[in-house]
């Protein structure tokens, strides 16, 4: 099994876990883009959001994102990102949600304009 997020989910590769239950693990990103940068990862291997057909799991991932954002104290706001497939810039082919916060994040995309 070579999938890095499957291995983290099984505890075979070390990661800084901030939450774990039977379905989901949340870790700190090793290359943080903001003071809080978490990855919400299902333990089941699902390649991307494109392939996520389990509605209950989709809901769990979303709800867990909000729970960990709250636990991180992100009252001023935060952002949820799901890089998906090639044009989305997905690097790890195991679905995950980025929770980013702790600073003003600016425009959604590089080069986009605030109105």
Q: What residues are annotated to the active site?
A: 96
Residue written as token pair 């890089």: 83
Q: Quick check: 1 binds ligand AMP (CB under 6 A)?
A: no
Identity of the residue, 19 or 45, whose beta carbon is nearer to Zn ion in the bound complex: 45
Distances in whole angstroms, Cα of residue 9 to Cα of each of 33, 58, 99, 114 = 22, 17, 18, 38
Measure CA of the first residue to CA of the last residue in the chain; give whole Å.
46
Measure the CA angle with vertex 82, ends 90 and 56; round to 5°: 125
CA atoms of 8 and 30, how far apart (whole Å): 13
The one among 19, 43, 45, 79 contacting Zn ion by CB under 5 A = 45
Identity of the residue, 30 or 56, whose beta carbon is nearer to ligand AMP in the bound complex: 30
Residues numbered 35-64 forming contacts with ligand AMP, rule: CB under 6 A: 39
From 23-31, 38-46, 52-60, 83-91, give the range in contact with Zn ion by CB under 5 A: 38-46
Using a 10 angstrom Cβ sphere, with 0-12 exposed, 13-18 middle and 19 or more buried, the burial of residue 11 is exposed
CB of 115 to ligand AMP, least distance (A): 27
Identity of the residue, 39 or 69, whose beta carbon is nearer to ligand AMP in the bound complex: 39
Using CB under 6 A, list all residues that contact ligand AMP. Answer: 4, 15, 27, 29-31, 39, 83, 89-92
């Amino acid at each position: 099994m070579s999938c890095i997020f499957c291995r983290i989910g099984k505890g075979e590769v070390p990661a800084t876990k901030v939450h774990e239950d039977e379905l989901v693990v949340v870790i700190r990103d090793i290359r943080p883009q903001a003071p809080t940068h978490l990855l919400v990862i299902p333990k089941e291997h699902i390649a991307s959001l494109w392939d996520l057909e389990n509605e209950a799991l989709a809901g769990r991932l979303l709800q867990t994102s909000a729970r960990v954002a709250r636990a991180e104290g992100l009252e001023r706001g935060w952002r949820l990102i799901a890089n998906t497939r090639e044009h989305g810039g997905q690097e790890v082919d195991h679905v995950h949600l980025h929770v980013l916060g702790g600073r003003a994040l600016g425009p959604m995309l590089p080069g986009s304009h605030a109105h």
